[in-house]
Structure 1
Amino acid sequence: MNTAKRIYNVLFISVFATMLGLGVVSPLLPIYAENLGATGIWLGIIFSAFALSRSVFMPVIGRISDRRGRKWIILIGMFAYAVLSLTYIIADSVFSLTAVRFAHGIASAMVVPIAMAYIADLSEKGKEGSQMGNFSISMFLGMGVGPLLGGFLNDAFGMDSVFYVMAGLSAFATLLVAASLPEARPGSLTIPAREPAPMREIFTLPIMRGILVFTLISALGRGGMMVFIPVFGPLIAISPFEVGVVLSVNTFLMALLQMPIGRLTDTGNKVTLIVAGSTVAAVALAVIPLSGSFWPLLVITSAVGVGGAIQQPAIMALTVDAGRTIGMGTSMGAYNTVFGIGMIIAPLIGGVFMDYIGIGAVFYVGGAVCLIGTGVFAVMMQRNARECAAGEVPGHG
């Protein structure tokens, strides 16, 4: 097995294990938080704490990985995942649970974005969509299997067992990376021997501006879905296990479609795919409150997953393309940071809508915001294409 293939396999398995560990708690954390007295707004704060710390630390960590190497950062992050998984058990208030989520977010900033940068360094020109799409399967499969496993563990062994399993999976990933992943330093097999671009270049590169604007508005629109569907489910007589099925199927669809959509991305129009996928997801998100039982909700959230699957490889391909100019750790850090900012704000706004208007408003507003973001992105990229054709925008990816 060649070195690049071994790196890919180690990171694929490690990220799958890590995301599986996160996924086991996703349908249960809102319930766990409510048992500690969390209101809708506190639910938003607890989920936003994770995204806040990711967003603050990812740009710095991404640039450090471009300069100093990637393995040691991933290793520290995965070890922290394992340790922090156990601290959920001793959290006894919304304040301590928020602190745990904040710390967990820092660990997250050291794992998935840096692993994505590592894989992006290995991506061949013209095959970014398929190669990044294939790697994304590890994340979506982990998040898809996780809720099913979490629901089973909770029902069979109690809530604490979920956190023990999360810790065990993270510990396994830590050992695998420590034993099998080579370091990637500037000038090595993967990272070009050059200084990453200044942060301001992220915003001067037109393709990156479009990515960041779209990612922010998309996250603002869709960021509340995973948080508030576990709260919405019981209102239409859906059990926690059925909520886990709904969340898992959504994510499984994204995983299964990554390979075919990734290949289509390499040969098709990336902007068209992003606009089409985002529109499908936005419309489906807005009609979630109209579902009155398990099966309609499953179909609607599946459509959200299909829309996300259509847009994801194209967004990642554009981000890789930009990374060749500004540094992979820098571009992946910027993408994930902006996504995280949206994920910070979305649950907070959603919590306010839930407390003062009703939970249906969370999904109506989310769908509308996604549609607006899609339109803004389409206009930006169309303008950028015209400027490139006229020779006015140098360095377009």
Structure 2
Amino acid sequence: MSSVSQKAVSVSAPSLQPEPSLLKQPKAVWAVFFACIIAFMGLGLVDPILPAIAKNMNATPSQVTLLFTSYNAVMAIAMLITGSISSRLGIKWTLLLGIVVIAVFSALGGASNNIWALVGLRGGWGLGNALFVATALAAIVSLSNSGTAKAIILYEAAIGLGISVGPLLGGWLGGMSWRGPFFGVATLMVVAFIGLISLMPKQHSGGQTKGKKKTSLLDPFRALKHYSLLVFGIAAALYNFGFFTLLAYAPFVMGLDEHGLGFVFLGWGILLAITSVFMAPKLQQSFGTVKSMCLMLFLFAIVLLAMGIWTSTQWVIIAAVIFAGALLGNNNTLITTAVMNATNVERSTASAAYSFLRFLGGAIAPYMAGKLAELYNPHVPFIVGAGFVLVSVLFILANAKHVKHVDDVEAGH
């Protein structure tokens, strides 16, 4: 156990030991990086076509937001089995299985003619994403030659690029037909499959590696006995109420077509990608992980509150969505780094446990936002989302003594 602890400290202190450049990575890392971009396109890809889906399928906004709910709910539950599957299939085959599942359900979604069928198929897409996403972080960290901290930044950059390109592609293909983005992802996943199967090394393709026990289905629940991991997981679930309110409900109040929504969320995603790679490490160095995280979340709550007050003012909503990308980019890198350093639990297990809690919030929030707007008015979802994000800050601060060691690990103390 102590050797694991020493390893966690040594690889997490990039400031004390010289490491290779972030950009000098093995080909396998770039193959996973590219596949990550495509996988995360799925998150923002449907944003520009949400109003179009509602119109073409005679669905209400709350019904359409179920596309996020089913996706995140299945992801949350599936996160609990990803470690068990990857420890048996190996990282490479788990990634490939995830890609195949995403491609199949995305293509079936594009062929569907019913909102409830589409909601169900998005759930299947979420299963593929869970298999891929949880394993991709472990793959990039293990394959990278530049240390854990920089590997996480690379992973977050892939997320940012995927989330930013997704809406642009979704807007472009969605301008032709709302089915276009679904078929587009299926096609790109075939490309990602070819890249991974040819570039991933053989040692990552087998099942159980020598000397490494298979992961149990109960391991993620056992990991949550570590209070620091539980704190970050609950905080992420609360913050995701704000994140997915912005992602799933904001398109309905902007009054833009598919192309316009695509460009707004492109701006949002570009800021998310840039800050996750360049700004978050500087904040971490200057103020520490936990303080920086709380600051970003507090500012995000203020942005959501502004969106709730000026919901009918188009330019405020557009500007707020784009600016929120910077706050979310910083926070995503900060909280992922914190989770990786929170315990001595195996990283893939810690990621699965944390993601389970995080996506539970992401499953409830979209539908809740749509329902609140239908029951009350369009202002309420954003105000409620701001409240949840603020509670996440207070929750972290109330449990500061349980998470302060994260900054000590980062500093290499």
TM range (shorter): 0.7 to 0.9
Q: CA deviation at 1:66?
A: 3.9
Which AA in structure 2 matches 1:321? N
User: What is aligned with 1:140?
Assistant: 160
Partner residue in 2 for 1:175? 194
* Mapped partners of 2:72, 2:355: distance in 1: 10
Q: Give the structure 2 partner of residue 232 of structure 1.
A: 253
Matches within 5 A, 1:1-397: 5-20=26-41, 23-66=44-87, 68-122=89-143, 128-155=148-175, 157-182=176-201, 183-184=203-204, 193-194=212-213, 196=215, 198-234=219-255, 238-264=256-282, 267-268=285-286, 269-289=288-308, 290=310, 292-322=312-342, 325-382=344-401, 385=404
CA gap 1:338/1:382 in 2 versus in 1, 3 angstroms: same
Shift of 1:371: 0.6
Distance 1:5 1:123 in 2: 7
CA distance, structure 2, for counterparts of residue 149 and residue 103 of structure 1: 21
CA distance in 1, matches of 2:251, 2:295: 27
Distance 2:403 2:106 in 1: 44
Shift of 1:277: 0.8
Pair 1:21–1:373, CA change in 2 (3 A) = closer
Q: CA RMSD in A?
A: 2.9
Letter in 2 for 1:144: S
Q: 1:354 offset after TM fit, Å? A: 1.2
Post-superposition CA distance 1:183-204 (Å, at most 9, x none) = 426886xx98356583443222
> Using a 3 Å threshold, how does the CA distance of structure 1 residues 273 and 124 change in structure 2: closer, same or farther?
farther
Mapped partners of 1:302, 1:174: distance in 2: 32
CA distance in 2, matches of 1:142, 1:133: 14
Change in 2 beyond 3 A, CA 1:200/1:339:
closer
1:130–1:265 CA contact under 8 A, matched in 2: no
- Give the superposition deviation at 1:34: 4.2
Contact 1:253-1:306 within 8 A present in 2 as well: yes
- In structure 2, C-alpha distance between the alignment counterparts of 1:298 and 1:29, rounded to whole Å: 16
- In the superposition, relative to structure 1, how do residues 173 and 336 fare at CA in structure 2: closer, same or farther (>3 Å)? same
Q: CA deviation at 1:112?
A: 1.5
The 1:255–1:11 alpha-carbon spacing in structure 2 relative to 1, beyond 3 Å, is: same
The alignment of Structure 1 onto Structure 2 pairs a total of residues equal to 381
- Give the direction of change, closer, same or farther, for the CA distance of 1:89–1:312 in structure 2 (3 Å limit): closer
Deviation at 1:254, TM superposition (A): 0.9
Measured in 1, the distance between the counterparts of 2:241 and 2:297 equals 13
Cα distance per residue 1:205-240 (max 9 Å; x no partner): 132122112111111232221111111112xxx333
- What is the alpha-carbon distance in structure 2 between the residues aligned to residue 63 and residue 322 of structure 1? 21
* CA distance, structure 2, for counterparts of residue 140 and residue 214 of structure 1: 21
- Tell me what 2:16 maps to: none
Hey, what does 2:12 align to over in structure 1? none
Instruction: Determine what percentage of the aligned residue pairs are the same residue.
Output: 20
3-state SS of paired residue (2:48): coil
Deviation at 1:68, TM superposition (A): 4.2
**In the alignment, what sits opposite 1:393?**
none
CA–CA separation in structure 2 for the residues paired with 1:146 and 1:248 = 8
Contact kept in structure 2, 1:12 and 1:138, CA below 8 Å: yes
Cα deviation, residue 22, structure 1: 5.0
CA contact 2:26–2:144 (8 Å) conserved in 1: no
Partners of 2:252 and 2:211 in 1: CA distance:
47
State the 1:87 CA deviation.
Answer: 1.1
Offset of residue 28 of structure 1: 0.6
Return the offset for 1:107.
0.9
Counterpart-to-counterpart distance in 2, 1:273 and 1:362: 26
Query: Does the C-alpha gap of structure 1 residues 304 and 266 become closer, same or farther in structure 2, counting only changes over 3 Å?
Result: closer
Judged with a 3 Å threshold, the aligned counterparts in structure 2 of structure 1 residues 128 and 340 are, in CA distance, closer, same or farther, namely: same
2: CA distance, partners of 1:78 / 1:123: 21
Change in CA separation of 1:285 and 1:98 when aligned onto 2, cut-off 3 Å: same
Matched letter for residue 392 of structure 2: G
Structure 2 distance, partners of 1:281, 1:192, is 45
Pairwise CA distance, 1:124: 8.0
Worse-superposed segment, 314-323 or 209-218 = 314-323
Would you say the 8 A contact 1:25–1:150 is kept in 2?
A: yes
Equivalent position amino acid for 2:269 in 1: T
TM-score normalized by structure 2? 0.84
**Are the counterparts in 2 of residues 84 and 103 from structure 1 also a CA contact under 8 Å?**
yes
What do the CA deviations read for 1:42-78 (whole angstroms, capped 9, x no partner)?
2233321111111111111123324542111110111
CA distance in 2, matches of 1:327, 1:123: 17
Are the aligned partners of 1:131 and 1:262 in contact in 2 as well (CA < 8 Å)? Answer: no
